[in-house]
Amino acid sequence: MTNFDHPPRILFLYGSLRERSYSRLLAEEAARIITEMGAEVKFFHPHDLPLRGRVEDSHPKVQELLELSQWSEGQVWTSPEMHGNITGILKNQIDWIPLSIGSVRPTQGKTLAVMQVSLRILGRWMRMFTIPNQSSVAKAYQEFHEDGTMKDSAYRDRVIDVMEELYKFTLLLRDKVDYLTDRYSERKEK
């Protein structure tokens, strides 16, 4: 089927600084789910990440984000809805991930799952394979237990569906990224 020499490596980005934000709780629930499926998971916590353009790329939080992005084979982005769009917290994280570093494209060919608000187009701009499924949890404040875990519901079932799809797509695509992202225009430039 596919190379399974290591578990899929999944990075989670969430768009809030609040300790108990629902986007963070949703990301943590999704991480528990995909970990049970066999994935290796890491989080980037956006506290202390400076605004893009205010400091050099050598800032420790920027370097942490870049290293995690390069480590990952797939990512999950979840953000609260703010005026019909993502929060500045999540956008700032994505803005710090460059489209290219020399000849390396840090996100090209990675899989992406999105939750809460539509982030598909942004994922495409980052040259990521955004999976077909996505999840949104209406009235999220009603969907979590006090301990931060998600209640058993159709919303949680949908999150499981999304994580299962991300897991499968990451396995299917990871050995084929070079082939799938090989572009005529870039070969021509060489």
Res. 190: pLDDT tops 90: no
Decide which of 3.40.190.120, 3.60.130.10, 3.40.50.300, 3.40.50.360 is the CATH code for 9-189: 3.40.50.360
What is the structure's pLDDT at 104?
A: 65
Q: 58-72, 108-122, 142-156 — which is least confidently predicted? A: 108-122
DSSP string, 76-129: EEE---BTTB--HHHHHHHHHS-S-BTTB-TTTT-EEEEESS--HHHHHHTT-E
Q: How confident is the model at residue 1 (pLDDT cuts 50, 70, 90)?
A: very low
Answer with the residue of higher pLDDT: 183 or 49.
49
Say if CB 10 and CB 136 are below 8 A apart.
no
Instruction: Report helix, strand or coil for 118.
Output: coil
In 3D space, the residue among 7, 24, 17 whose CA is nearest the CA of residue 149 turns out to be 24
Q: What is the pTM of this model?
A: 0.92
Span 56-91, pLDDT tens digits:
889 999 999 999 999 999 999 999 888 878 999 999
Alpha-carbon span 13 to 102, nearest angstrom: 24
What is the structure's pLDDT at 116?
A: 83
Q: Residue 30 CB: number of other CB atoms within 10 A?
A: 26
Instruction: Report helix, strand or coil for 99.
Output: coil
Alpha-carbon span 70 to 105, nearest angstrom: 9
Of the chain, the end-to-end C-alpha distance in Å amounts to: 33
What is the structure's pLDDT at 54?
A: 86
Identity at 13, one-letter amino acid code: L
Instruction: Report helix, strand or coil for 181.
Output: coil
Res. 2: pLDDT tops 70: no
The mean predicted confidence, pLDDT, of the chain is 92
